[in-house]
Amino acid sequence: MHWLIDPFRADFMQRAFIAAIIIGVVAPVVGTWVVLRRMANLGDAMSHGTLAGVGIAYAAGVNVLFGAMGAGLLIAVLLLAFSSNRRLGQETIITVLGTAFFALGVVVISRLDTGVELTHFLFGQVLTVQWGDIWLNLALGGGAVLVVALLFGELRLATFDHVQAEQVGVRVELVQAVLVMLLAVVVVISLRAVGTVMTVTMLVTPAATARLIARDLKRMTLWGVGFGVSEGVVGLMIAYHLSSAPGATIGLVAAAVFAIVFAITLPRRMPHHHRPLD
């Protein structure tokens, strides 16, 4: 029992657990659509690219969450602007933007004469989360979940039947833009918990695990949230007892759960058992 209770005694761990729960809920809700639309590369580019905003905000003495949000929104706007160029594939544009912003972030942070370590931003410092960060994350995360709930039908149509979606009046490009913005929100609320590098893990892995067992979209989302929250909490507890990096530990727990579920469900997912989500 002490193994379970001890981590909750310290105030900083209580704040860390709340932060992990928030990202454990919000990331899979958005990540469900990232997985279904095969946009993991965009999530990866977004999570890495926000390092530029983090570095600039830190240098200016501004809350790094605002810097990350600004960089995420700028990447989203640039992606939408360049996506009209048919000579280049969207994956190419995503890679160029992500690496450019990431490189800018590394350069800015490396020039800071404050002793700050780049690994703090890359892998997170969930144990330093303050109540102000939690309230901001709660507001952003709640807004993201609400947007997904309101646009659930449009997201489903735009994801599974692009032609029909346009025929019934769904603005597919606008739905895509909203999803990109939601990605930026997930990156922001994940920043302190798991860092820019591991954000894509919480965005994709719980949702991908849920995809292996869920029969419809709602169950996939709920399973994803269940996996995300439990992996975040268990990962933090393990990190506390092993004195390991919390963000990386959470990522390892998520990967381990995915591997276990993948192995267990393999017989059921043989070709003759496969059927699409409802």
Tell me the CATH number at 74. Answer: 1.10.3470.10
- Those residues whose C-beta lies under 8 Å from the C-beta of residue 1, and which sit 6 or more positions away, are none
Q: Average pLDDT of 168-176? A: 79
The average confidence (pLDDT) of the chain is 83
The predicted pLDDT at position 1 comes to: 64
21 in any annotated domain: yes
Six token digits for residue 148: 């997904």
Q: List pLDDT tens digits, range 30-48.
A: 999 999 988 888 888 888 8
| Closest C-alpha to 195, from 115, 125, 138, 99 | 125
Q: How confident is the model at residue 113 (pLDDT cuts 50, 70, 90)?
A: low
Domains identified in the chain, total number: 1
253 in any annotated domain: yes
Q: Average pLDDT of 164-193? A: 80
223 in any annotated domain: yes
The predicted pLDDT at position 226 comes to: 96
d(C-alpha 124, C-alpha 142), whole Å = 21
Show the domain range for 254.
Answer: 2-273
- Those residues whose C-beta lies under 8 Å from the C-beta of residue 35, and which sit 6 or more positions away, are 204, 207, 208, 211
233 in any annotated domain: yes
Q: How confident is the model at residue 81 (pLDDT cuts 50, 70, 90)?
A: confident
DSSP per-residue string spanning 202-259: HHHHHHHHHHHH-SSHHHHHHHHHHHHHHHHHHHHHHHHHHT--HHHHHHHHHHHHHH
The predicted pLDDT at position 94 comes to: 83
More confident site: 187 or 198: 187
Q: Average pLDDT of 193-198? A: 72
The answer to whether residue 272 scores a pLDDT higher than 60 is: no
d(C-alpha 149, C-alpha 163), whole Å = 22
Q: List pLDDT tens digits, range 211-247.
A: 999 888 999 999 999 999 999 999 989 988 898 888 8
The predicted pLDDT at position 76 comes to: 80
The answer to whether residue 121 scores a pLDDT higher than 70 is: no
248 in any annotated domain: yes
278 in any annotated domain: no
221 in any annotated domain: yes
Six token digits for residue 236: 């933090």
